[in-house]
Amino acid sequence: MKEKFFSANKSCCRILAILLMLVCLTGMALPVFGAAPKLSATAAILIDGNTGNILFEKNPDKIMYPASTTKIMTALVALEAVDRGEISLEQPLVMSQTAFDSQDIDGSGISLDVGEEMKLKNLLEGLLIASGNDAASVIAEGVSGTESAFVEKMNQRAGELGLSNTHFVNPHGLHHKDHYTTARDMAMLAREAMKNETFRSIVECAHIYLPPTNMSEKRYFINTNNLVSRMRYADYFYEYATGIKTGTTSEAGNCLVASAESGEKYIISVIFDAEEISVSHNESRDLLSHGLNDFKSQRLAKRDDIFGEVKVKQALDGTDHILLSAEKNLDSLFPKDGDPKKVEVKTEIPEKVYAPISSGQVIGKAIFTYEGNKVGEVNLVSTVEIKRHFLGFLMSFGEWLWSLAVIRYTVYIILGVALGFVFVLVAGFVRALKKTKRKKRRNTRYRPPRY
């Protein structure tokens, strides 16, 4: 009987192990919260655009070719150069012979010719709406002098954003084995780009007229992202869509980075390597619908809610602790059928801080999780202003000295020797006192007279 029982258990274990292996090998989609649509695309992700929290993922860290979704980074680098005052949106840029010769005859473009001038803002429209590879090359040269120098900035920015599995070789996304990213990285990049108002205003346009140039009449383009336009494939249109960018090569498949908004909800999806344009659009729409329909906006923290306290050192008024509150209101997408009471909060607060401290200074953070999934994070700030003690620099120096092991051991040794010396002195004093008392007793002892 026992043998049959153990044999059955072993069979169950084998079956479970096989099933787990099949899940890993097939790259099964793993929804972070509840049910989610079934996807055929190789990699996908859905995030809360406000917080960056992941709502759904399928092979989020698998290395993929991004195709023209690369142009999200191209536009971001260019627009950040505008924000820094390095170039203007009104600056006319010229199509050089070098840029013209670098174009792939089968690649998408806006038909720029050698010597043609176009303002940066119009090139960005041609880049993001018509997916112009030629616009990407002109922007790269106009912003950085050469395409290679611009690509260096793209990779530098990727590093700053923490896109650890991303590397660019060109500004347009034509295939190269060393030009790659992941769904997770692309979602993070898209979230950053959508913070730029100019970028956001372009990618939500259904179509665009580019004004005449020195070599051409005005041009008209329909957005390659059919989620925001009914003009090419009306069936793919999604009323809540607000962007962002398509990409297609034979190696990358059909890719689509999309976004949608409804009320306070704002979400971003990424689909990589879908078989057809219809698949990339339909599965993006399914993901976006999942985010908008199956989640609700939940307030996890209100501004000024107290989440803890921290020890203060070197305060002028002798304050030894201060309270820490939420820096701002925190709203996060939360499963509609979820129980907010099950949200857990973990605080990350240092053991101590040093004056001076300004009111509103960020000191720690509170992290909110639900069923093991991160659903939000908010900075914790000081509720008061604390001035530093005028002897603070001496206190700091003393603390620094005490942090040195050699100083601590030296002090311990000196104290030990001093205590030993005091002990010897006290012991000697006690012995001398006792001896004096004995002498005094002998001298005062009664002796009878002799006759």
User: Along the chain (451 residues), what's the average pLDDT of each consecutive run of 10 residues?
Assistant: 44 44 46 78 97 94 98 98 98 97 91 98 98 98 98 98 98 97 98 98 97 96 97 95 98 98 96 98 97 93 94 87 95 89 95 92 95 90 86 56 69 84 86 78 62 56
The strand pairing partners of 210, in sequence order, are 219
Is 131 among the catalytic positions?
A: yes
Please report the pLDDT score of residue 272 as a whole number: 98
What length does the chain have?
A: 451
Count other C-beta atoms under 10 Å from residue 386's C-beta: 21
Strand 352-354 and strand 306-313: pairing? parallel
Residues 6+ apart with CB under 8 A from 154: 73, 74, 77, 168, 171
Please report the pLDDT score of residue 397 as a whole number: 52
361 DSSP 8-state letter: -
Please report the pLDDT score of residue 413 as a whole number: 85
Whole-angstrom distance, CA of residue 236 vs CA of residue 255: 14
Please report the pLDDT score of residue 26 as a whole number: 40
Is 71 among the catalytic positions?
A: yes
Please report the pLDDT score of residue 391 as a whole number: 57
String of b and e for 189-200 (b: at least 16 CB within 10 Å)? bbbbbbebeebe
Whole-angstrom distance, CA of residue 78 vs CA of residue 60: 27
Please report the pLDDT score of residue 307 as a whole number: 96
Catalytic annotation, pick one of 58, 102, 108, 131? 131
Is 119 among the catalytic positions?
A: no
Catalytic annotation, pick one of 68, 108, 229, 269? 68
Whole-angstrom distance, CA of residue 249 vs CA of residue 134: 16
Please report the pLDDT score of residue 425 as a whole number: 87
Place of tokens 């297609």: 248
